Amino acid sequence: MISDRSEVTKMILSAKVLKGIKWKDVAEQLGKSKEWTTAACLGQMTFDKAQAETVGGIFGLSDEAVAWLQIVPYKGSLPTAVPTDPLIYRWYEVVNVYGSTIKELIHEEFGDGIMSAIDFSMDIQREPDPKGDRVHVVLSGKFLPYKTY
């Protein structure tokens, strides 16, 4: 009996290690970006029926698990409000150190509103650099203005 999407995420993670599956190969089979695919496999996005079955096939999931992949999950992938993992913490630090900067510059360019985290995409690439390769990330979110009424 599965009563929570997170149980399916655990099954996927377990199968991934046992079978040595790579996220980018899953993405290729789905015909989606590796970013969206990974987020969905980690229980943050919702698959449609065909996608869920493809994923179920790759990871060897039961029909019940495949049904859960089509259910909108309770989102949030981190165990604590301030993340302890160094890689994820660096992103939290960027928000903490540059947060007011990001706010000022978006408002200077667009006025009052936000950058959507829903109508949003992310792209992560290796950027070769002789002084040491870099992680190059592009975030694109629709600007949503506050409206008067």
Which residues between 27 and 46 bind a copy of itself (CB under 8 A)?
Answer: 32-36, 38-39, 42, 44-46
Active-site residue flag, 5? no
Instruction: Measure the CA–CA gap between 52 and 37, rounded to whole angstroms.
Output: 11
Residue 146 is encoded by which pair of tokens?
A: 């506050």
Q: 84: buried, middle or exposed (CB in 10 Å: 19+, 13-18, 0-12)?
A: exposed
Binding-site size for a copy of itself (CB under 8 A) equals 102
Structural Rg of the chain based on CA atoms: 18
With CB under 8 A as the contact rule, the residue among 52, 57, 101, 130 that binds a copy of itself is 101
State the nearest-atom distance from the C-beta of 113 to a copy of itself, in Å: 6
Answer whether 45's CB lies under 8 Å from 59's CB.
no
Active-site residue flag, 53? no
Q: Rule CB under 8 A: which of 121-140 touch a copy of itself?
A: 121-122, 124, 126-127, 129, 131-140
Q: Where are the beta strands (DSSP E) in 52-112?
A: none
State the nearest-atom distance from the C-beta of 49 to a copy of itself, in Å: 11
With CB under 8 A as the contact rule, the residue among 13, 29, 53, 54 that binds a copy of itself is 13
